[in-house]
């Protein structure tokens, strides 16, 4: 079986869709060595993020056959790539990030698309008009024309059915996992090293994710007013204009010595930051899955997440939940965890059982099963 993957995100994105793409590619390759895997990489993409993938024996790179400039990368990925798919004799093409090439249904190739979320339809106010329009066209085409759709959560599956009227039998739920680095216990020395590197407080609540309005980190900052002054908040994530909104609230409420925002943290330091924290809080208004919750539970950190999207799937009974706008309840649940060791232990124990199903081997096994059913009917 020759499998083709759109590897643009794998080669370009350090988090999110990049992590998902690299994880799927790596574990499919390692667990199915008989598969011949081709990674379609646009011109101009860096290779440092996929260097370890290239070294796996059954993985090969495929670049645009025509001399397409970097400015035409979007055109190649959205349409012209079909010629390269045909040239490589691909049996199954898997779009790993909400899209498939237009016209792929005209070629003798089975297609699979992973849909991570349809937030741009449910909460259009978080996106500008152009981005929202592009995402919508691509996702609708992919869902309509794919032979099989992989949804990363039950909530995402329901959204696909609701917005695109897709037959539920065409959609398979395959839960994501997180990097294996979060599964390993970090030494006390490593936690201390990382804490000194970023000048982190001894006792801190943690939030990880792009610092944007939808992720709702401001709710945690507001809750800090009712939390003991010996506990701080650390926010780790990509900087956006929303960061300035948070900073203004911090200074207006004299919280500048209790809230620390850090950017550009390499993956290698994240496990120690997680394991050094007291509570992980993820009050996002809406998510397609919520990998940071899985990372936190693997790290042995008690979790508080928001109700209303897929986060209750991600955390199961290994987390506490609040309405994303209820900062009083959020404050009370943070204090409950900070003050009661039995609550911490209960969440950790239940969390460990819940996340047993979120692992890379399970993910690759289910995806390979989908491929086999498409190719051989079994």
Q: Give the contacts of 27 (CB within 8 A, at least 6 positions apart).
A: 360, 361, 363, 364
Which pLDDT band, with edges at 50, 70 and 90, does 223 fall under?
very high
Query: Which structural domains are found in the chain, ordered by start?
Result: 2-177+359-376 (3.40.50.2000), 180-357 (3.40.50.2000)
Question: What tens digit of pLDDT does each residue of 65-93 get?
Answer: 766 655 577 788 888 899 999 999 999 99
Residue 244 CA to chain centroid, in angstroms?
24
Upper half-sphere CA count for residue 221 (Cβ side, 13 Å) = 24
- Model pLDDT, residue 69: 55
- Beta strands 148-151 and 110-115: pairing type? parallel
- Model pLDDT, residue 241: 93
- Model pLDDT, residue 64: 82
- Model pLDDT, residue 109: 95
Token pair 């610092």 is found at 211
- Model pLDDT, residue 11: 84
Q: How many CB atoms lie within 10 A of CB 323?
A: 14
Question: What tens digit of pLDDT does each residue of 337-370 get?
Answer: 999 999 999 999 999 999 988 888 889 999 999 9
Distance from C-alpha of 156 to C-alpha of 114, rounded to nearest angstrom: 10
- Model pLDDT, residue 357: 83
Distance from C-alpha of 300 to C-alpha of 277, rounded to nearest angstrom: 10
Question: What tens digit of pLDDT does each residue of 237-282 get?
Answer: 988 999 999 999 999 999 999 999 999 898 899 999 999 999 999 9
Q: Angle CA(129)–CA(133)–CA(138) in degrees, nearest 5?
A: 155
- Model pLDDT, residue 303: 97
């Amino acid at each position: 079986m020759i499998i083709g993957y759109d590897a643009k995100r794998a080669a370009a994105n350090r988090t999110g869709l990049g992590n998902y793409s690299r994880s799927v590619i790596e574990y499919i390759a390692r667990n199915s060595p008989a598969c011949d895997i081709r990674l379609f990489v646009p011109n101009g993409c860096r290779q440092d993020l996929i260097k370890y993938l290239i070294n796996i024996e059954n993985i090969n790179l495929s670049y645009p056959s025509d001399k397409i400039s970097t400015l035409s990368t979007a055109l190649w990925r959205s349409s012209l790539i079909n010629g390269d798919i045909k040239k490589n004799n691909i049996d199954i093409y898997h779009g790993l990030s909400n899209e498939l090439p237009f016209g792929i249904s005209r070629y003798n190739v089975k297609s699979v698309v992973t849909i991570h979320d349809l937030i741009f339809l449910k909460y259009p106010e978080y996106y500008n008009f152009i981005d929202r329009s592009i995402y919508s066209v691509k996702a609708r085409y992919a869902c309509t024309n794919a032979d099989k759709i992989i949804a990363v959560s039950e909530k995402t599956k329901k959204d696909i059915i609701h917005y695109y009227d897709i037959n539920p039998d065409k959609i398979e739920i395959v839960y994501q996992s997180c990097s294996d680095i979060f599964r390993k216990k970090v030494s006390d020395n490593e936690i201390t090293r990382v804490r000194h590197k970023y000048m982190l407080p001894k006792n801190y609540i943690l939030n990880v994710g792009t610092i944007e309005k939808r992720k709702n980190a401001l709710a945690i900052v507001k809750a800090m007013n009712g939390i003991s002054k010996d506990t701080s908040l650390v926010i780790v994530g990509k900087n956006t204009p929303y960061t300035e909104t948070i900073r203004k609230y911090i200074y207006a409420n004299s919280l500048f010595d209790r809230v620390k925002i850090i950017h550009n943290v390499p993956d290698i330091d994240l496990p120690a930051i997680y394991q050094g924290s007291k509570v992980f809080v993820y009050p996002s208004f809406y998510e397609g899955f919520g990998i940071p919750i899985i990372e936190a539970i693997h790290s042995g950190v008690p979790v508080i997440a928001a109700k209303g999207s897929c986060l209750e799937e991600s955390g199961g009974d290994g987390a506490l939940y609040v309405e994303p706008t209820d900062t009083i309840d959020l404050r009370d649940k943070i204090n409950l965890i900070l003050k009661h060791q039995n609550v911490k232990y209960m969440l950790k124990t239940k969390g460990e059982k819940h996340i047993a199903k979120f692992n890379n081997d399970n993910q690759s096994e289910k995806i390979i099963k989908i491929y086999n059913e498409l190719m051989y009917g079994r």
